[in-house]
Chain A
Amino acid sequence: MVNVYLMGKKYEVPEGLTIMGAMEYAGYQLVRGCGCRNGFCGACATVYRIKGERELHAALACQTTVEENMYVATLPFFPLEKQVYDINKIKPDAQVMMQLYPEIYSCIGCNACTKSCTQGLNVMQYIAAAQRGDFAACAQMSFDCVMCGVCSSRCPAGISHPQVAELSRRINGKYLMPEAKHLTERVKEIEDGLCQAEMEAIMAKPLEELKELYNHRDIEK
């Protein structure tokens, strides 16, 4: 058994549990602070400190094993600032960041965001890329972000890093990455009715014939 302090209160829980598992073992019926339970949704942002140590850690409660003398505080909601924009009207240049998220230029380079990232991302560097209008780099460095908001809770400049990254990714996905021509063409073929006859033919097949086709279809190597 290990001793953990949930919101400051001491509980004894079996070794090897995640922080989330420890909370449930202690009797918490979670509503907030629990989402996918698999490290993708960012609902269970948590900060903790090991008794006697100075460093404050941030983690996802569903992805982190409890340790002896861990002081845990969950962060089930953090008010990020999301700006509203029309993805079809914005231009993919540095101007858009200046208009929507001017606070990123107040970054003092303390690196608290990076140190606190629950996904181990280089947050300060992706903000630097956004400042330069290098959306592709910002998108690439921030790709694994689960938008838990811990970085923003630690930022003295009031930056909502995950929202800056989201905007960069959307700009990159829509405007900067090259067009998939085969996709555009296939969509047009379908719109022009060119796939209709083949579809109708296969739908008209009796079940036995469909099974034959399926069982002997050629599978791309």
Chain B
Amino acid sequence: MNYTPEMLASMKKVEAAREKNIALEPRRLTAEEKEALLKEYHPDYKDAGFTTIRVGGNKGQKAPVELNAMLDAHSRLRDVEVDLSNIAYDVDVLVIGGGGAGSSAAIEAHEAGANVMIVTKLRIGDANTMMAEGGIQAADKPGDSPALHYLDVMGGGHYANRPELVKKLVMEGPSAIKWLNELGVEFDKAPDGTMITTHGGGTSRKRMHAAADYSGAEIMRTLRDEVLNRQIPVVDFTAAIELILDTDGKAAGAVLMNMETGELMVARAKTVIIATGGAGRMHYQGFPTSNHYGATADGLILGYRAGAKLLYQDTLQYHPTGVAFPQQIFGALVTEKVRSMGAKLINSEGEAYIHPLETRDVNAAGVIRECTTHGKGVDTGMGKAVWLDTPMIDRIHGKGTLEKRLPAMLRMYLKYGIDMREVPILIYPTLHYQNGGLEIAEDGQTCVENLFVAGEAVGGIHGRNRLMGNSLLDIIVFGRSAGQRAAQKAGTTQLKELTLRHVDKYEAELANAGIDSDAVSPKLLPTYARGAKAF
């Protein structure tokens, strides 16, 4: 173990206070206290992190600086002639993105009899879904109900959520779990078949279903296997770089780019589903991220240029417990399930300063407060951090529990000589989730006809803060639904001539606004190579 003497000195205080802290049930904050904490410390409230959108349907609204730079950037097709009559792929439904939402959509579109294809810039399964650890919510137990789930989602999202989307999320939650279970997902169950469920931050009932702490991986690999069993074409290492519309303004396909050779291809489709995921690799406000390598908000750019609207693009989720030490895994996720299982957040003085299961935005703000104005952070060499007292878990539930229920976490830390069963770990907020995204109606369609969105690229389901376990749920509920609706809609769609005029129009708007960026978008991949130009 490589903890510094300063860390070890603070750790002694954590150990000395452990029994007392286990017994303590920290008071839940009042609504007013939460609001004050967020305003003071949450990154969403930092004006310097945002600028005003200057073109397009959300002109005048706030967006993160880094996202706005992508909205201001040129199309990758500027000054490039694309022959739209040279069609490489011709399908009913084009799914852009190979994560949980895209795969669910493709399976359901296929089930509905559509000719469907997935295009993904990396591999199928290279997605935030794969990395979701803690679990998936659904109100399927006695004493719980979709209405209680609804209340938790609305309160957690600060009542900014679109009610009809939340209703769909919670009402179709149990059937989503059943669908996954029948595909073969191995949920944690008691010997009699009862789902083993826990709390997440901000839940009023224990409705977090899990598959150890590989919940997302188990779901993703099952969906991937099903996509492959159905022999749905998956074109990998190929990015969508612009949407194609038809002369009626309906979505009609995408221009694709081979990520390795740069070759451009045209995919024509009667309906298009954007399932491109999140934006952690944009590193908003300089935060590290728990996200997948490809999480660069591509779908938001594609959709926006084609005329779809953004919603809550100015709200991001910073997961309170990102790895703060060791540096090799800086920013990686420590699942909320660690807190669900009883580990508490402890400052450098050994104080359990907050309830560990407040919502994520509140707990993230709390960590930042301890590390700044309260001066109760531990120095990691890369900044300050607080403790997550993981040895509490086996102390509460018995030896062996942590290993059984949190194998991925244990393995991740053991690789660096830290046995989290014996010693607490150091954490700090990490950029985790894009709360906002493209605006959709209840049927998953944007204001652009035949353009559907599912998964993290959607805005409005989670309001201004998402609860743990509702993202895995939304990718399944809205992914499936988008696939079904897109297949149905494809059946009645007559395509007109293909066009990229919207891209030219957007370029002209940029020029009129006096914007001439030297960047291109969508970003596709972050640039981490030392000395390299943007990808």
The chain B residue sitting closest to A175, CB to CB, is: B184
What residues of A have a CB within 8 angstroms of the CB of B438 in the complex? none
Q: Are A190 and B151 in contact (CB under 8 A)?
A: no
Chain B 159-197 interface 0/1 with A at a Cβ cutoff of 8 Å (1 = within): 100010001001100110110011111110101111100
Determine if B529 and A28 form an interchain contact, defined as CB atoms under 8 angstroms apart: yes
Tell me, yes or no, whether B428 is within 8 Å of chain A by CB. no
A218 within 8 A of B: yes
A196 → chain B closest CB, angstroms = 8
Cross-chain contact of A195 among B30, B171, B195, B328 (Cβ < 8 A): B171
**Contact check: which of B28, B194, B214, B525 meets A143 at CB < 8 Å?**
B214
Chain B residues whose C-beta falls within 8 Å of the C-beta of A201 in the assembled complex: 147
Of all chain A residues, the one with the shortest Cβ separation from B222 is A170
Partner of A41, one of B126, B142, B154: B126
Assess A21 versus B159: contact at CB under 8 Å? Given A35-B292, A36-B293, A184-B178.
Answer: no
Question: Please, how many residues of chain A have a CB less than 8 angstroms from a CB on the other chain?
Answer: 73
Residue contact B145 to A40, C-beta cutoff 8 Å: no
Asked if A56 lies at the interface with its beta carbon under 8 angstroms from chain B, I say: no
Q: Do residues B182 and A174 form an inter-chain contact, with CB atoms below 8 A?
A: yes
Q: Within residues 176 to 207 of chain A, which ones have a CB less than 8 A from any CB in chain B?
A: 177-184, 186-187, 190-191, 195, 198-199, 201-203, 207
Say which residue of A84, A139, A203 sits within 8 Å of B150 (CB atoms). Answer: A203
**Which listed residue (A43, A86, A187) contacts B178, Cβ 8 A?**
A187
Instruction: Decide if A24 touches B140 in the complex (CB within 8 Å).
Output: no
B466 to chain A, nearest CB (A): 16
Give residues of chain A (137-173) contacting chain B, Cβ–Cβ below 8 Å. 139, 143-144, 146-147, 166-167, 169-173
Cβ 8 A contact of A35, one of B126, B170, B175, B178:
B126
B121, closest chain A residue (CB): A31
- Asked if B530 and A26 make an inter-chain contact with CB atoms under 8 angstroms apart, the answer reads yes
Chain A residue, CB-CB nearest to B231:
A84
Q: Which of B122, B181, B292 contacts A174 (CB 8 A)?
A: B181
The answer to whether A147 and B293 have CB atoms under 8 Å apart is no
Least distance between A190 CB and chain B CB atoms (Å): 6
A80 to chain B, nearest CB (A): 11
Which stretch of A2-10, A47-55, A105-113, A209-217 is in the interface? A209-217
Complex CA distance for A64 and B415, rounded to whole angstroms: 8
Residue of B nearest to A177 (CB): B189
Nearest Cβ distance between residue B285 and chain A, in whole angstroms? 20
For B226, the chain A residues whose CB sits under 8 A away are 87
* Contact, CB under 8 Å: B194 / A87: no
* Partner of B177 from A32, A183, A195 at Cβ < 8 Å: A183
Q: Which residues of B contact A87 (CB under 8 A)?
A: 183-184, 226, 229
Query: How far is it, in angstroms, between the C-alpha of A183 and the C-alpha of B411 when the chains are bound?
Result: 32
Q: Could you say which residues of chain A place their CB within 8 Å of the CB of B416?
A: 65
B 133-151 binary contact with A (CB < 8 Å = 1; else 0): 0000001111101111011
Closest A residue by C-beta to B183 = A87
**Do the beta carbons of B217 and A40 come within 8 Å of each other?**
yes
Residues of A within 8 A of B1 (CB): none
Bound CA–CA A218/B144 (angstroms): 11
Chain B residues within 8 Å of A82, by CB:
225, 228
**A38 close to chain B: CB less than 8 A:** yes
* Set A26, A84, A177: member contacting B186, Cβ < 8 A: A177
B193, A177: Cβ atoms closer than 8 Å: yes
The 6 lowest CB-CB distance pairs between A and B, nearest first, are A170-B184, A178-B193, A214-B155, A173-B186, A173-B184, A174-B184
Given contacts A40-B408, A182-B140, A210-B155, list 19 more A-B pairs with CB under 8 A.
A24-B530, A25-B530, A29-B525, A29-B527, A30-B525, A35-B293, A40-B131, A41-B217, A43-B123, A82-B225, A144-B408, A146-B217, A169-B218, A170-B222, A177-B189, A180-B140, A184-B178, A203-B163, A219-B204
Residue pairs across A and B with Cβ atoms less than 8 A apart, 8 shown, are A40-B217, A41-B126, A87-B229, A143-B212, A169-B186, A174-B181, A195-B145, A219-B28
Give me the interface of B with A, judged by CB distance under 8 Å.
28, 30-31, 122-123, 125-126, 130-131, 139-143, 145-148, 150-152, 154-155, 159, 163, 167, 170-171, 174-175, 177-178, 181-187, 189, 191-195, 199, 204-206, 211-212, 214, 216-218, 221-222, 225-226, 228-229, 231, 237, 259-260, 290, 292-293, 326-329, 332-333, 407-408, 411-412, 415-416, 525, 527-532, 535
